Amino acid sequence: MKHVALGIVIPVYRSTYSVARLTKDIQTVFHDVCTWHIYLIDDGNSEDTVSWLNGHCTGPHVTLIRLKQNYGQQNAILCGIRHCQNCRYVATMDDDLQHDAAMLLTLYRTVEEGYDIVYAVPYASSPPALRASSLIRFAGSHMRDRLFASMLRLPNHVKVSSFRIMTGELAGEISQGASGFFYLSAAVFRRPRKAKTCYYEARPRQYGKSGYTLSKLIRLYADIIRFYSPLGPYLTSRKRRQAMLYEERTFQPSQPAAIMVLGGSNCQLHALMRAEKEGYRVVLADYTDEPPGAHYAHVHRKVSTFDVPECIKAAREEGVQAVMTMGTDQPVYTAACVSQELGLPSFLTPKEALAVTNKKVMKQILTDHGIPTALYRLIDHTSLPEDLWTLTPPLVIKPLDSQGQRGIFKCQGRKELLSHLPETLSFSRCREALAEQFYPSDEITVSGWVKDGRLTVLTVTDRLLYPDPVHIGICIGHRFPSVHMDRYEEIADMSQKVTCAFQLKEGPFYLQLLIGREGIFVNELACRIGGAFEDVIIPYLTGFDILGAVMDLSFGREVTLDLPKDFRADRIKTCAAVQLMFCRSGTIRRCTPLSELKKLPFLLDCGYNYEPGQEIPAAQNATARFGHGVIVGDEDTIEEHIRQFYDTLKVVSVTGDNLIHRLYPEK
């Protein structure tokens, strides 16, 4: 394993759910702080417990190390720190959730100030109920502190505990010198150290119970005197002092889990970056020669994300354990098919995935459940204008299974619509297309998460469209909060009805709604993270890491929707504006460096799809999008932030013109 900043050693004895929650909490706290790795030390647990831990707690950031029998907490810690030779800092924690991941971050920040070791100790004013339930351990800690002060001359301002962080050099020094009986803090203070104690409010034990008894504590402190006091050599034989401390089970170091990401464009870039950062072996499926995401993939398989058999073949050959996508529709179906064929976890079956990616199936389900949607008919090469007599122009023609607004046209008459049929079908694998009656309306997007069949709405955004009378539906931006938040209850109710109609159980939810004079109509449903960088704005607005949740779910891990009980999207006060930039057609000579844009304090994320020297085509679908910018602010500042963004952004053509389309007028 490559060098990491922080190794975290957690001895595990008769614990399961608390360990899973603790590893998840650590991931949440540290995923943007530093590189880290958790070492779970199985201290002689049953095979059932080990199997549970291996199934729910391991991953690219977690290693499970087994001991042959129960050797005790201190020896388990010693085993763990001997596996942390590549770590700049080494921390130890208990497995019962009394040691908090947020407090671990405080320890990490503190040890970086130049200390050898930093301890976390509960305040003396901890709740009486907690002290009463741990009276023996409390008394034992007091005895230990007195013993250390007299025997090892521990400074009065330093209190020790099993919750601590130390430098990698100190961890290596004490682990190399360990033999016979081992007690970490006693080994640390055999000579003076630069140490500090940080205090925190202890939490009641949520899982299990303490194994400490008075007799065990007496034996423990007797051993500390025998092995760490100046009298140790006279009290214990040399053979006893050098006895083996522990023995690990034979095991093969696990290889990084492999994940296949379908699609390597900027819409999937954050998934690839996240997977690579978290230590997965990243397999990219993308038919283009040099997609942006290839930089973050260990393997690039040049296969189309529409080609299910080839994706199955690639996934099997690469030995992937999970398949995922984001930002685009059709790979959702491919991911479900690959997962079913290879027996991998998936939150959708192929049948469910087809329903949310094929408009023929989707429209039928909506109709069967009485959910309002635009009037429609299916057409093919045999259709005649009179077959569309039930639809009143203007009309819209769409492929059943395409994406990126390709093959979508607004038509003023039935003959005009049928004239577009060959082009529309060229973007589809189906022999039919969808003809809809155009519904004058605003478009909004509902993003959420489904858990046990119940939808939590995370955001409701206005979907802003490119002003083209023929090539409709091309998104140029999302705005939060929506101007239709006064209809939030109606929007949330409609979204839950769609969840039930499609029998969705768990996973991401993305719904496009049309709001017009006749009410709210459902346009399209998708079970993915949206393509307007919802993986950026949803965590910022709500605190929910939706990308991490999709990744966890793809590996079959449980996802907890950690939101306040009273959470409602219409109560969020922060504003966000996702700019999906388009340009006039032309060849780019130069554009504002991304590094300059990223200096804007209100810009969360940005990226370009085109480079100098490339030609930008006319905007007929989403493939002509130049780039994106994610802007945040409040009600009073968001409009000015958007203007500042466009004032900074320049896309200069070979003729010297600024090609960028501005959503807002220049000052």
In angstroms, the CA 311 to CA 535 distance is 25
Count other Cβ atoms within 10 Å, centred on residue 206: 11
Phi-psi region of 263 (alpha: psi -120 to 50; beta: other; left: phi over 0): left
Count other Cβ atoms within 10 Å, centred on residue 474: 22
Q: Please give the average per-residue pLDDT across 558-577, as a whole number.
A: 93
Q: Please give the average per-residue pLDDT across 126-131, as a whole number.
A: 44
Q: What is the pLDDT of residue 4?
A: 83
pTM of the model: 0.68
Phi-psi region of 533 (alpha: psi -120 to 50; beta: other; left: phi over 0): left
In sign, the C-alpha dihedral spanning 197, 202, 208, 212 is: positive
Q: What is the DSSP string of 448-480?
A: EEEETTEEEEEEEEEEEE---SSS---EEEEEE
Alpha helices in 45-181 (DSSP H): 47-56, 73-82, 101-111, 128-133, 135-151, 168-176
pLDDT at residue 465 is higher than 90: no
pLDDT at residue 244 is higher than 70: no
Residue where the block lists tokens 């529309």: 424
In angstroms, the CA 227 to CA 179 distance is 10
- Which band of pLDDT confidence, cut at 50, 70 and 90, is reported for residue 208? low
Count other Cβ atoms within 10 Å, centred on residue 85: 15
- Percentage of the chain beyond pLDDT 70 is 87
Q: What is the DSSP string of 26-51?
A: HHHHHTTT--EEEEEEE-S--HHHHH
CATH class of 258-346: alpha beta
Q: Does the domain at residues 375-437 carry the CATH identifier 3.40.50.300?
A: no
Digit-coded pLDDT (tens) for 158-183: 999 999 999 999 999 998 877 667 88
Taking a C-beta distance cutoff of 8 angstroms, is the pair 9, 95 a contact?
no
Digit-coded pLDDT (tens) for 301-314: 999 999 999 999 99
Residue where the block lists tokens 């401390």: 245
Q: For residue 520, which of 503, 541, 498, 505 has the smallest C-alpha distance?
A: 498
Domain ranges within the chain, ordered by starting residue: 4-241, 258-346, 375-437, 442-566, 573-667
Q: Please give the average per-residue pLDDT across 93-106, as a whole number.
A: 93
H or E element that contains 342: helix 330-342
Digit-coded pLDDT (tens) for 625-656: 899 999 999 999 999 999 999 999 999 999 99
- Which band of pLDDT confidence, cut at 50, 70 and 90, is reported for residue 35? confident
Domains 442-566 and 573-667 fall in the same CATH topology: yes
Angle at 14 between CA 8 and CA 20, to 5 degrees: 50
Q: For residue 510, which of 308, 332, 323, 260 has the smallest C-alpha distance?
A: 332
Q: Which residue has the higher pLDDT, 620 or 606?
A: 606
- Which band of pLDDT confidence, cut at 50, 70 and 90, is reported for residue 147? low
pLDDT at residue 117 is higher than 70: yes
CB-count exposure of residue 452 (10 Å: 0-12, 13-18, 19+):
exposed
Architecture, CATH, for domain 4-241: Alpha-Beta Complex (3.90)
Side by side, the strands of the sheet bearing 409-411 are: 376-379, 433-437, 395-399, 409-411
**Domain 573-667: homologous superfamily in CATH:** ATP-grasp fold, B domain (3.30.470.20)
Q: Which residue has the higher pLDDT, 394 or 2?
A: 394
CATH class of 442-566: alpha beta
Strand runs labelled E in 321-441? 322-324, 376-379, 395-399, 409-411, 433-437
In angstroms, the CA 364 to CA 377 distance is 11
In sign, the C-alpha dihedral spanning 79, 84, 88, 93 is: negative
Q: For residue 9, which of 97, 111, 80, 78 has the smallest C-alpha distance?
A: 80
Q: What is the pLDDT of residue 152?
A: 66
Q: What is the pLDDT of residue 48?
A: 82
Side by side, the strands of the sheet bearing 586-591 are: 615-616, 586-591, 651-653
- Residues 386-395 as b/e (b if ≥16 CB within 10 A, e otherwise) read ebbeebeebb
Q: Is 502 helix (H, G, I), strand (E, B) or coil?
A: coil
Q: What is the pLDDT of residue 218?
A: 67
- Which band of pLDDT confidence, cut at 50, 70 and 90, is reported for residue 666? very low
Alpha helices in 522-661 (DSSP H): 534-542, 546-554, 594-597, 638-648
